[in-house]
Amino acid sequence: MNDIIVGVDQSTTARTAAETAASLAAACGCNLHIVMCVKPGVNREFAVGGDRWRVDSSSEAENYLHDLRRTLGHDMITSTVAFGDPATTLCEEAQRLGARMIVVGNRRVQSASRILGSIAADVAKQAPCDVLIANTTAS
């Protein structure tokens, strides 16, 4: 009931938002739930010498989330790989978990015209809980 949810992709700004969310979760003594949305059916093929293998988008996302969880310095972290619109998915996860807050990064939130189409703005409009837009552009 006290979960903090953060949405990530594989960008450095999303990692910064995840670090902010992990710090908040640790300070509040609550669970951090990381959500990563991927497109279904996206596969990548790799070849090294004579070896070839295929990685699907959800497996790649699971591996990324596993590595991210290990680096965040918080003991209570869960994660989900989901398919669908990121803003809607984050809000649905918040509703499902009874979350206290959703944390999103501020990438692409630089002007009024961009805010209207941003994931952060869409989450703020739909969220069943508080929303924190983490400053991911500060140096």
pLDDT tens series, the chain, 139 aa: 589 999 999 888 899 999 999 999 999 999 999 999 987 765 666 677 777 766 567 888 899 999 999 999 888 999 999 998 999 999 999 999 999 999 998 765 555 445 444 888 899 999 999 999 888 876 4
pTM as predicted:
0.82
DSSP 80-135: EEEES-HHHHHHHHHHHHT-SEEEEE-TT-SSHHHHTTSHHHHHHHH-SSEEEEE-
